[in-house]
Amino acid sequence: MRSGRWVLVAWLIIGALAAGQRHYYAQFDGSCARIATIGITVVSGPLNYTGLNPTAQCKVPQPSK
């Protein structure tokens, strides 16, 4: 079970590095789509280096008048 934790940590670190290489942190504007794209990139980990380029779009409902 211990090795599984290390694999998970390494997976997430690789994903965070991929997001950094794509300059997602520098272009952070706080939008829902940017947060989701960073999250998906981190979670997809090493798959980013196989050609996967995950992106997300969010539509937040507007409050009623």
pLDDT for res 1 = 64
User: What's the rounded Cα separation, in Å, for the pair 3 and 29?
Assistant: 36
pTM above 0.85, yes or no: no
Q: Where are the domains of the chain?
A: 2-50
Closest listed residue to residue 34, CA positions, set 45, 48, 47, 22: 22
pLDDT for res 19 = 92
pLDDT for res 16 = 94
How does pLDDT run across 5-63, given as a tens digit for each residue?
999 999 999 999 999 999 989 988 888 888 888 999 999 999 989 988 888 888 877 78
